[in-house]
Chains A and B, each alone.
Chain A
Amino acid sequence: MSELIIETKNLTKKFGATRVVNHVDMQVKKGEIYGFLGPNGAGKTTTIRMLLGLARPSKGSIHMFGKDIRKEKLAILRKVGSLVEYPSYYGHLTARENLEAVRVLLDVPKSRIDEVLSIVRLTKDAKRPVKGFSLGMKQRLGIATALLGNPELLILDEPTNGLDPSGILEMRELIKSMPKEHGITIVVSSHLLSEIDQMATQVGIITKGRIIFQDSIHKLREQASSSIKLTVNDVEAAWKTLLSNGFTTDLVQNNIYIDNGTDDHVAAIVKSLVEHDFSIYRVEEQKKSLEEIFLELTGKEGGLL
């Protein structure tokens, strides 16, 4: 078991009577890219706000780096870099001045500004006022600001929101390179499964304030129960023959489906069909896409776990 960077227990946030975040037990291990996934309004941002000390939990505890956030908030925040939703910046200042305003607060050496500017490739634009930046550049400046204090944990809330495809690609490459090159643990939230699928190693799915899935991305893919689709010449007769031979299969739209069949099971069915002189055109594996799993999980309103 590797070291836990973030551990929340029964984390709850109430706005009035509604529980926006409801008994969330989040666990993020060191060196992972934790994809925090959920539809809009599921409680992702509220959870992240609580992790950053921007909002107080109504109930439950948050431990980061093994420290309690209620007791050692500043010590924790020193090791955390963050970018929450839309980038925050001071438009009238240049990129460099923006970083300088944060640098003096963090008390890191001036040379760090050049380092982070080159990481996000803004060195050339460092002397321009930020209000003239494109959204992608502002977002990159946000990442640079987050990296300024040499964080061990980077919390990014919807970092690809509003970016064009090339901006998204750039952001994704940047995020993926962090754990490798700088040994940083990352929590990245998104409402797009494809985003998380392409960068995360761990996934937490939240909907209506509850975590309904939390494990490695491989485990999530395994949930994609596969089935074998058979295309044969006389479907109805084939299905009946199989049934009389003791094989239960599904007949859907002129195809025969075998659910969760082991390799031997599938082989036996194929063999039986061949012996009864059916022509087998295709034997295909049908896998549910992650998108379908996600919809299935979130659609059932957290009744899964």
Chain B
Amino acid sequence: MIRVMLSEFIKIKRKLILFLIILGPLGVIGLQAANFGLRYDWLTSQYKEDLWRGLIGEVTMLSVPTILIGLTILTSMIANIEHQTNAWKQLVALPVSKMKIFAGKALLSFILLFVSCLLLFFGTIILGLSLRFGTAIPLFYLLKMCFFPFLAAMPFLALQTWLAISMKNQAIPLTTGILGTIVSLYGTGFPDWMPLKWPWLVNEWDEPVYSVLFGVATGLVLYLLSLIDFSRRDVK
């Protein structure tokens, strides 16, 4: 599996994928910098009890749709590396199991998104410090708010990976992903069983961990199903 990942990382060289990984968190932090810069007084009076929590909350508002659209574009770009010259036939004819090939693609998306979330974590700290919110950073809460939405979005990562890999025409996975992102903007109003609500970490028990658990469990199931589908499918 290490060899598969090495190969995957060689293949994304000189692609815009790495740029995208930085662009996502950079965009979120940049927009919040503008937001806080323009209405500093009003926002600080809104969040005067806990400035850091206020900032983190604002960041999350933007990070959820960014994660969804980001994973859509990311999975599509990763799959497209193989689609472009139909390199699947070369890849699958190598002595590597199809399961590992699929797992490699999914893991690559996971790792890259993880890095994005990590950048968001540090970006938020830098933004908070430069806004002079003090050094009493609620690190654990920040960590939760950076990584929980990502983990709760696992069903979408699995779904988009599967769509992007099994269809040559990337218009379909991109459309699904973009529609999903738009619908998710209204996610907080949905019933609890709706996967699009999970990344917002809101549920009737008021326990964000539940959303994460639902997300990870459903994500794993979807991932296993697509893994089986991919390994049974004939390669064009």
Is residue A261 within 8 Å, beta carbon to beta carbon, of the partner chain? no
Query: Once the chains bind, are A92 and B10 in contact (CB under 8 Å)?
Result: no
Query: Once the chains bind, are A105 and B93 in contact (CB under 8 Å)?
Result: no
Which residues from chain B contact A77 at a C-beta distance below 8 Å? 93-95
Query: Once the chains bind, are B89 and A84 in contact (CB under 8 Å)?
Result: yes
Query: Once the chains bind, are A82 and B90 in contact (CB under 8 Å)?
Result: yes
Q: Which of B1-9, B29-37, B157-165, B184-192 lies at the binding interface?
A: B1-9
Q: Which of B11-19, B59-67, B112-120 lies at the binding interface?
A: B11-19
Report the nearest A residue to B92, measured CB to CB.
A54
What 0/1 readout, one digit per residue, does chain A (89-110) give for beta carbons within 8 Å of chain B? 1111100010011101111000
Is residue A49 within 8 Å, beta carbon to beta carbon, of the partner chain? yes
Is residue A55 within 8 Å, beta carbon to beta carbon, of the partner chain? yes
Complexed CA–CA distance, A80 and B93 (Å): 8
Complexed CA–CA distance, A145 and B89 (Å): 13
Closest Cβ–Cβ distance, residue B19 to chain A (whole Å): 13
Query: Once the chains bind, are B11 and A101 in contact (CB under 8 Å)?
Result: yes
What 0/1 readout, one digit per residue, does chain A (49-78) give for beta carbons within 8 Å of chain B? 100111110000000000000000011011
Partner pick for A104 among B3, B15, B95, B234, CB 8 A cutoff: B3
Which residues from chain A contact B7 at a C-beta distance below 8 Å? 101-102, 104-105
Complexed CA–CA distance, A92 and B27 (Å): 26
Partner pick for A88 among B4, B90, B232, CB 8 A cutoff: B90
Complexed CA–CA distance, A105 and B6 (Å): 8
Is residue B96 within 8 Å, beta carbon to beta carbon, of the partner chain? yes
Query: Once the chains bind, are B89 and A54 in contact (CB under 8 Å)?
Result: yes
Closest Cβ–Cβ distance, residue B101 to chain A (whole Å): 9
Which residues from chain B contact A88 at a C-beta distance below 8 Å? 85-91
Closest Cβ–Cβ distance, residue A106 to chain B (whole Å): 7
Complexed CA–CA distance, A160 and B7 (Å): 28
Is residue A179 within 8 Å, beta carbon to beta carbon, of the partner chain? no
A sample of 7 more A-B contacts (CB under 8 A), given A54-B93, A102-B7, A142-B90, is A49-B235, A77-B93, A86-B86, A89-B85, A104-B6, A104-B10, A105-B94
**6 pairs of residues in contact across A and B, judged by CB atoms under 8 Å:** A52-B89, A54-B92, A56-B234, A74-B96, A82-B90, A90-B81
